[in-house]
Copies of this chain bind each other. A is one copy, B any other.
Amino acid sequence: MKSFSYINPTRILFGKGQIAAISKHIPESARVLVTYGGGSIKANGVYDQVMAALTGRSVMEFGGIEPNPRYETMMRAADVARAGKADFILAVGGGSVIDGSKFLAVALPYDGPDPWDLVTGKAKIRGAMSLGAVLTLPATGSESNCGAVITHQGLGAKVPFGHPSVYPVFAVLDPEATRSLPSRQVANGVADAFVHVMEQYLTVPAAGMVQDAYAEALLKTLIAVGPKTLADPDDMDARANLMWAANQALNGLISVGVPQDWSTHMIGHELTALYGLDHARSLTIVLPAMMRVRQEAKRAKLLQYAEHVWGVRGGAEDTRIGAAIERTEAFFRSLCLPVRLSDVHLKADVVAAVEANLIAHGMTALGEDKAVTPDVAKQVLTAAL
């Protein structure tokens, strides 16, 4: 195990009715900008619960944050925040709303020429406006981590950034708030959380027994509750476990002291930026191909994954690994998710286009061992055709 420093400062408010508790965690004098997405929170009652909890506060709002939240959209949100002198951001939605709001939180106090520089690293993040989150879609873990991914429409780029100042002060995880989600979003969320765990687990053995076993615990939970939540939207036990597992999947805990990969995500981001694929669907296409192409480098962990997550024992190593990859694909398919580029009607020209983008964005040495070069990415995409 490597040395590490770990703290997660986000207070989790979990369970039915916890939206009401936000009033205790937002300063009484706060001027709150409520950010949200396409308006589903107005249909499902979450908006009303939030506004009721904010009674007595000065409140303004900005809606319309899209999936894969855009720099351009959030710059308009910044105008609203400045006009209303907001000093607290309350993000109500899924990972896109929260990620966009994290960018807003660092953009508002920044006095340089272009806040996009904070994302690319050209300028240094020095602080952020306080942020809270009310989660409506279990998926990204953004509600209690310090990372975000922003898309610059003008530049055709989807870029991750992170800074300790963007940990939300609190995150409300009320399974009831996820009840009206369309199946497609539930499935996407399950897959996103699953691949988050895999990026932190499927590397090389590093003697992190607790980290490995926690990761396996989350994978098995997602495998159990994902299909259940889709089959019975009223199964609140399944929803609650999905929400907690997706949170734990990317709050920093399972990756302490062990290597991480994230190459599947980086290739997936290019697919999304180029072809508008749902983030999760880019991952379910890339991951199985990545496992096949990187089988030798990841042999030990693939065998552990096969046994501990899928119960695959006995037989030749390659057979066990093959079975685990097939079980993974079958799991994604059971959620009605694609596992090949052809499933989303993409063809061989994707390979060169993604390769060119990876090179353009400096993503030329990905993975825990930096061995996923553009050439390896090409092999992965070819295997995913």
Contacts and interface: CB of A to CB of B under 8 A. Distances in A.
Interface stretch (A15-23, A51-59, A312-320, A336-344): A15-23
A244 interface: yes
A205 to B, nearest CB: 10
A10 B12 CA distance: 15
Contact of A3 (B15, B210, B213): B15
Contacts of A208: 241
A9 B245 CA distance: 21
A221 B225 contact: no
A241 B7 contact: no
A240 B248 CA distance: 22
The count of identical subunits is 2
A219 to B, nearest CB: 10
Contact of A213 (B18, B207, B217, B237): B217
Given A213-B221, A214-B217, A248-B210, A7 B7 contact: no
A241 B209 contact: yes
Contacts of A11: 5-7
A4 B9 contact: no
Contact of A14 (B17, B220, B241, B256): B256
Nearest to A25: B5
A6 B248 CA distance: 13
Interface string A95-116: 0000000000000000000000
Nearest to A15: B3
Interface string A301-328: 0000000000000000000000000000
Interface in A137-152: none
Contacts of A245: 209-210
Interface string A202-237: 000001111001101110110011000000000001
Nearest to A207: B237
B240 A1 contact: yes
A40 interface: no
Nearest to A1: B240
A12 to B, nearest CB: 5
Contacts of A12: 4-7, 256
A228 B21 CA distance: 46
Nearest to A243: B1
Contacts of A67: none
A2 interface: yes
Interface string A118-149: 00000000000000000000000000000000
28 contacts: A1-B15, A2-B15, A3-B15, A4-B12, A4-B15, A5-B11, A5-B12, A5-B18, A5-B21, A6-B11, A6-B12, A6-B14, A7-B8, A7-B12, A12-B256, A14-B257, A15-B257, A209-B224, A209-B245, A210-B217, A210-B221, A210-B241, A210-B244, A213-B216, A213-B217, A213-B218, A213-B221, A216-B217
10 closest A-B pairs (Cβ-Cβ)? A3-B15, A213-B217, A7-B11, A207-B237, A209-B241, A6-B12, A1-B240, A209-B221, A4-B14, A210-B244
